[in-house]
Amino acid sequence: MANVETVTVNILDKDYQVSCKPDEVNALKESAQYLDSRMREIKSTSSVLGLDRIAVMAALNIANDLLSENKKTASVVSTQADNIQSLNGKLDIALGKLRAGIS
């Protein structure tokens, strides 16, 4: 791969080397810290044993959070689209009145 950097991240006291583009290094480190935090939370608050099971539980929790946020975002976008359409209708009416008054 061209223009790739190898970064070492630590997740649950284990080092992993990951290759990424130089402009993605900070995002990778932030993601690794977030994953480490979620895995530590699961490890300390549940009876889940084994790194692989903790990783799967963390992945499921993060995926659930992502899907939930995507649904919220879609709802907000839909509501705003409706508001914009309503405002456009009001503007069309106001412009029509102005044009009628000018003629």
Write the pLDDT tens digit of every residue in 41-99: 999 998 888 999 999 999 999 999 999 999 999 999 999 999 999 999 999 999 998 88
pLDDT on residue 1: 53
pLDDT of residue 101: 83
- CATH number, domain of 45, equals 3.30.160.880
The number of folded domains in the chain is 1
Range of the domain at 70: 5-102
CB neighbour list of residue 55: distance below 8 Å, 6 or more residues apart = 39
Contacts of 5 (CB under 8 A, 6+ apart): 19, 20, 21, 22, 25
Q: How far apart are CA 101 and CA 103, in angstroms?
A: 6
Instruction: Determine if the pTM surpasses 0.95.
Output: no
